[in-house]
Structure 1
Amino acid sequence: MNRRLLLGFAALALLAVTAGCSGVFGGDQFSEKRLEGDGGADYEWDTDTDVTINVTGGQYHAIYDFENRTQLRIFERESLGEKTPVEVNTVRFRYPNGTVVTLDQEQVRKQDSRTVFTLPSEEGQLAYTAPHRGKSFNTPTYVEGSYEVVLPTGMRVGNPILSQVRPDADEKTQIDSRVHLRWAEVTADNVVVRYYLARDLKIFAGIIGAGILIALLGLGYFRLQIRQLEQEREEMGLNVDTDGDEFDQGPPPGMG
């Protein structure tokens, strides 16, 4: 029994040491190479909204315009709903005078299932890149204000079956095959956009048309079968008219 207890304590100690080592070696940090990125993303700093999100294929660029703020905490949800830090890269901060700097490991870290940015100035713009997949995009509204979401090239919204925009956008424009959605003021907890490829609408319409055609052909075939059965019954004498039949002429004499 004592040996088993010792083994149990040893296992617990090993787990504690392992957890401690992960913290010592930066389990809550992003690498400097990741924060630096591949030479710098082509961020479009000249925006006129508080939050601008540019969704491009397998990633998105986010730009937040701040005033009187020193920190931003962001997260994403996994399939089961639990919150996890956003795996950001190419993190930049732009001062009001136009100077752009890369945030370091002390300024970008993982803490309490979130990615935490410590801003070098209370005013300026924060930009980062994060992975994205699928034909939908949603983000918690970490700050209230005006928003713009730019969809990937060729993606569309508008069909209520194939797409969804929540809350409803105040403005929708298309520039160079890309849809821009804008909100003058967002107070909802999340911005959700589900979109579709432009050719998907044609495919969807084709499927609906084919379904209607098949249904009409099936209905016609069914009615044809009914008519053929009726004809066969008539030919076999099964559809005999019983009007005036002797059994309908009343009871025999004396039983009326």
Structure 2
Amino acid sequence: MNRRLALGVLLVIAAVSGAGCLDYATGGGEITAETLDQEPPVAYQWDADADVYIDVSSDATFTATYNVTGVEELRLYRTSFRGLEEPTSISAFRYQYPNGTVLSGSEFRARGGEIEQTPDEVFVRFGEQFQGGRIGIHANSIPKRLSLPVYVEGSHEIVLPPDRQVDFWLFGNVAPRGYETEIENGRQHISWDDVSSDTILVQFYLERDLSVFAVVMTVATAIGIGGAVYYKRRLDRLKRQRQEMGLDVEADEPDDDSPPGS
């Protein structure tokens, strides 16, 4: 039985290793034209003032536009929970020329642009025919948390889903510092004039989370106070019982250091 179990484990390990090797051999899997040409769930903000504009949705996805002026190659990757780099799973790729013309992912490729996925990243390469402009992508995130490498230098703006905030320190967190926040149309905007770090992190919460937290803290405080009162009453009652039984005689015992006859 133990041999069969060991053999089964070895087969599973071999299968996983083989799949990993296949990924490297095949370049990590091609991104299909169908994936690249999907319609984004929300319209890309091509006219955003920030070099990087990220619109976070309540379904743990985001759409983003990046100013790629002067950029020859863009490397899109994420860091997994194991600390390993992996490709950002992008879809709905768009490229906008400076004159406003927008290409789909397959059109971008047809005109000489490259979108290549490896086991560690997605490379977007711009030829001489793509001078300036912006790209738009759609990708997955994590509920109530956005953590992304800084793909493009410059100003950044992140828009949270409706009724989400970062202001309460216990639930919210933003890095790097030096940001500003404002509310527009019921959504919190977080912006940096320039980002010097390698990663941006935004951890946010629902406004109703604060109400739930307040209720929990109120109940916990009431339980704590009630427990303390109950414990004190129990001690007082035990003390009275000991006195009634004559067990508390410390006050009647003579002091060993007192002089004889005192």
TM-score using structure 2 length? 0.81
Unaligned segments of structure 1, at least 5 residues: 1-10, 252-256
Partner of 1:49: 50
- Residue 66 of structure 1 and its aligned partner are, at CA, apart by 2.1
1:242 aligns with 2:252: yes
160-169 vs 33-42, greater mean Cα deviation: 33-42
The 5-angstrom pairing of residues 185-200 of structure 1 reads 185-200=194-209
Matches within 5 A, 1:15-164: 19=22, 23=26, 28-38=29-39, 41-58=42-59, 59-104=61-106, 107-111=114-118, 113-119=120-126, 120-164=129-173
* Structure showing greater Rg: 1
| C-alpha distance 210-37 of structure 1, shift in aligned 2 (>3 A) | same
The superposition leaves residues 11-30 of structure 1 with CA deviations (integer Å, 9 ceiling, x where unpaired) of 9xxx7xx949973xx85321
Q: How many residues align?
A: 233
Q: Could you tell me which amino acid in structure 1 is paired with residue 210 of structure 2? A: L
TM superposition shift of 1:220: 0.7
Q: How far off is 1:205 after superposition?
A: 1.6
Superimposed CA distance per residue, residues 203-246 of structure 1 (whole angstroms, 9 cap, x where no aligned partner): 1122122211111111111110111011111211223442679x
Does structure 2 retain, via aligned residues, the 8 Å contact 1:57–1:133? no
Give TM-score scaled by structure 1 length. 0.82
Amino acid at match of 2:226: L
In the TM superposition, residue 55 of structure 1 has moved relative to its aligned partner by 0.7
Counterpart code for 2:64: A
- 1:219 equivalent in alignment to 2:219: no
Q: 3-state SS of the aligned residue for 1:185?
A: coil
1:114 & 1:30 partners in 2: Cα distance? 12
When the two chains are superposed, the root-mean-square deviation of aligned CA atoms in Å is: 2.7
Determine helix, strand or coil for the equivalent of 1:42: coil
Counterpart CA distance in 2 for 1:211 and 1:250 is: 56
Secondary structure at 1:34 match in 2: helix
Runs of 5+ unmatched residues, structure 2: 1-13
Percent of aligned positions that are identical: 28
